Structure 1
Amino acid sequence: MNMKSVIRSRPGRLIAAVVLAVTVVTPVVVTGPASAATTLTVAQALAAQDGRTAAVTGYVIGQPTSTTTVLTANYTADTAIAIADTATETSTARMLYVQVTTAWRADFGLLTNPSLRGRQITATGTLTAYFSHGGLKSPTAMTFGGGSTPSPTASPTASPTVSPTGGPYDSTYYASAVGRTGPALRSSLHAIIRVQTVLTYDQVWEALKDTDQDPANPANVILLYTGRSQSKTSNGGGVDDWNREHVWAKSHGDFGTANGPGTDVHHLRPEDVSVNSLRGNKDFDSGGSAVAEAPGCYTDADSFEPRNAVKGDVARMILYMAIRYEGDDGWPNLEPNDSVTNGTAPYLGRISKLLAWNELDPPDAFEQRRNQRIYERWQGNRNPFVDHPEWARAIWG
């Protein structure tokens, strides 16, 4: 039985701990409402629940679900996080509950980003009760690390944009690639992402049920081209079943379903059997006739155009394959080009369209969660173009 890890405080202990925190913490002296530039510790924020605006720095502990309960695994939503002054804190009395509004959920929601636990963040917002507990609500800025609090580029209700020069894995996973461009960047990324767990083709079924899970219905997956939510158990070869679509068509390089490129979940997606067959091994381009079962998709004799919502997803999967499979490890050297007549050669086009789609449709929460899931649970490697879309132009631009 999979039990959720929780932290609970008894009411009496909670009251005592809060009183203690209030009496021993260094007082914050203000002459009026604190400015957003004021950076507080969690203990200071808990002692200043008076509606002021302040920035608070702390370590992510988990997802609060009640006054005295914080989940530290098996998260259920992206709407709130609990932070503390130490990453090992276990008492909810010493945690600040931070509301995560829509603008920040893609980067700071624990359901989407379970690896956020233990990381230091700074959040700016209103210090007021949340879950009947010391809290920070209506955030106007959230950032990784301490001390700086950039705002969203548009407004607090717009999706935050990821800086092209920073990311949560830059100092660790991508350390050898950051700051490079062109062939040097390509070489560094290949060396990083080629370290992976290789799945079997049977394992891909279970991986896709996890990576492509419908966020609104955990019993379903979302099909790539159709956008349809469909039962995880309806996988197979029937007309209305879903099967494993190779976004980099497996005949382009003739790698089939062999362990390696043929089983790499970074480019395998659930898709309706009929639509998968219709796409076949066509290159990607714009135009053609509408695909009846996949609204927004088009196809002609030699190319396939995916719906707008996943154009960037398709581009980043193709670019990943080109960097991951460079002709070593006994696998083909895959490369995008600007042709739609590639046949069985290890090429896939059109690169000009893919680069444009990468910019037209930036990574969303679903794609970011998928990348994280593959990294944490299945292959141990990441798609660098989901983390850094700007690297596509740095290599092919």
Structure 2
Amino acid sequence: MRTSRWSLLALTACLATAVVVSQAQPPAAGAASAAPAPGASAAAPITVAQAIAGQNGASATVRGYVVGQPTATSTVVRSGFPSDYALALADAAAETNTARMVYVQITTSFRSAYGLKTNPSLLGAQLDVTGSLSAYFSHAGLTSTTAFARVGAPPTSTTGPTTTVPTTTTAPPTSTGPTDDYYRAALGKTGPQLKAALNQIIRVGTKLNYDQVWDALKVTDQDPNNANNVVLLYSGRSQSKSSNGGGANDWNREHVWAKSHGDFGTATGPGTDVHHLRPEDVSVNSNRGNKDFDLGGSPAAEAPGNFTDADSWEPRDTVKGDVARMILYMDVRYEGGDGYVDLDVNNSVNNGTQPYHGKLSTLLAWNTQDPPDAFEKRRNQVIYDSFQHNRNPFIDHPEWVAAIWG
């Protein structure tokens, strides 16, 4: 077994909404420290200290200096930013005490302009940010952010080039499908609470039978360059939709969460959930068998870029994240509370018929290494729109992987 080549980065994300950016002036010296009442909009920016003291769910505009990116309740990094999903504000640009910081969710519309991975020179910049005074990372936070504005240039003590972020940015109308409202009950949660909330959301949907899976896969995995073909998961080959079956060169229905791991077979539910069923060459499917996922040993026959040994399978690099997010979806979706087997990821291989799948540490690294691409996002949307009417949350929010398992 080869040692892991990748490391996990902790990250998180949030909900996008649209609103005009606030242009109000900062409060005068000596202004009252009370936060606005719940439901009220802030008339002027408040300080970070006021925001920390007023975590009551009210809408407010907070003015502060960007002092890093939160990656855990008491951890803020100032370099090597892992994502564009969050930043920390403080009343002083040199602040290092997380107790004097407010953690800010960066909603989708603002990530390209205010995310620290893309814009590391924002460190030290002063911003006005509008959102809800609600906990984030189990820490004083500003969530569901609706407006960001650059107040001024970074302080002279801050190193790095001057940022080219525009002075103000206003969110465009949201048009990214149902995810804004779909995950509302999960927003602001982490760990077991986030997992439980996601389970309640994604368990609602339509269940297919095993024959219906054939037709679903011909749509969900359609080759974007050839509407007559599907793309096979491990081998990456584009193959005619009509060549499905049991022959040596046909494609069939691969259970990414091996159906023997929990012994659910092809029963309606986990055995027919298209979120983890993918088209694959019959021979490659057989070669993978029910092996757990890890860094394998020798090249896999008929599947370039895949590796395997006695107890594990390593998929090609461009679908490593896809595999991880499918396995983690199955863990969250099938918690055993609705008549199905309780599935869980673990950090083992050779899980056999136990309802476990591994290797968790490798899957977490793959989720970071290979973020969702256009094919995977389209597939998630098609399943939601046309077949099961539920979503894989880790495609929409891959940062939630770390929020639950990190």
**Fold match by TM threshold 0.5:** yes
2:270 matched to which residue of 1?
Answer: 261
2:261 and 2:357 in contact (8 A); partners too: yes
**Residues 330, 210 of structure 1: CA spacing in aligned structure 2 closer, same or farther, 3 A cutoff?**
same
2:230 and 2:241 in contact (8 A); partners too: yes
Pick aligned residue for 1:302 from 304, 307, 311: 311
SS of the residue aligned with 1:172? Answer: helix
CA–CA separation in structure 1 for the residues paired with 2:358 and 2:112: 41
2:376 matched to which residue of 1?
Answer: 367
- Equivalent residue letter for 1:198: K
CA–CA separation in structure 2 for the residues paired with 1:366 and 1:149: 21
1:215 matched to which residue of 2?
Answer: 224
TM-score when normalising by structure 2: 0.58
CA–CA separation in structure 1 for the residues paired with 2:340 and 2:257: 14
Pick aligned residue for 1:345 from 354, 364, 368: 354
- Equivalent residue letter for 1:396: W
1:324 pairs with 2:287: no
1:229 matched to which residue of 2?
Answer: 238
1:381 pairs with 2:344: no
2:42 matched to which residue of 1?
Answer: none
SS of the residue aligned with 2:181? Answer: coil
2:163 matched to which residue of 1?
Answer: none
Give aligned-pair identity as a percent. 68
Between 1 and 2, higher relative CO (CA 8 Å, sep ≥ 6) is seen in 2
Pick aligned residue for 2:202 from 193, 199, 202: 193
CA–CA separation in structure 2 for the residues paired with 1:257 and 1:223: 20
1:13 matched to which residue of 2?
Answer: none
The alignment's C-alpha RMSD in Å is 2.4
Aligned pair count reads 248
- Equivalent residue letter for 1:374: I
CA–CA separation in structure 1 for the residues paired with 2:191 and 2:329: 15
Pick aligned residue for 2:285 from 276, 283, 295: 276
Once the two structures are superposed, what CA deviation does each residue of 1:177-234 show, in whole Å capped at 9, x if it has no partner? Answer: 0110001100100000000100000000000000000000000000000000000000
2:113 matched to which residue of 1?
Answer: 150
- Equivalent residue letter for 1:382: R
Once the two structures are superposed, what CA deviation does each residue of 1:308-358 show, in whole Å capped at 9, x if it has no partner? Answer: 000000000000000000012211000000110211000000000000000
SS of the residue aligned with 1:195? Answer: coil
CA–CA separation in structure 1 for the residues paired with 2:114 and 2:403: 26
CA–CA separation in structure 1 for the residues paired with 2:370 and 2:285: 22
- Equivalent residue letter for 2:397: H
SS of the residue aligned with 1:271? Answer: strand
1:170 and 1:178 in contact (8 A); partners too: no
1:240 pairs with 2:203: no
CA–CA separation in structure 2 for the residues paired with 1:324 and 1:277: 26
1:286 pairs with 2:295: yes
Once the two structures are superposed, what CA deviation does each residue of 1:3-22 show, in whole Å capped at 9, x if it has no partner? Answer: xxxxxxxxxxxxxxxxxxxx
CA–CA separation in structure 1 for the residues paired with 2:212 and 2:187: 33
1:340 and 1:349 in contact (8 A); partners too: yes
TM-score when normalising by structure 1: 0.59
Report the Cα offset of residue 144 of structure 1. 7.0
1:326 and 1:334 in contact (8 A); partners too: yes
1:128 matched to which residue of 2?
Answer: none
- Equivalent residue letter for 2:307: Y
CA–CA separation in structure 2 for the residues paired with 1:198 and 1:271: 22
CA–CA separation in structure 2 for the residues paired with 1:177 and 1:293: 41
CA–CA separation in structure 1 for the residues paired with 2:114 and 2:223: 30
**Residues 149, 264 of structure 1: CA spacing in aligned structure 2 closer, same or farther, 3 A cutoff?**
closer
1:250 matched to which residue of 2?
Answer: 259
CA–CA separation in structure 1 for the residues paired with 2:112 and 2:362: 36
CA–CA separation in structure 2 for the residues paired with 1:149 and 1:303: 38
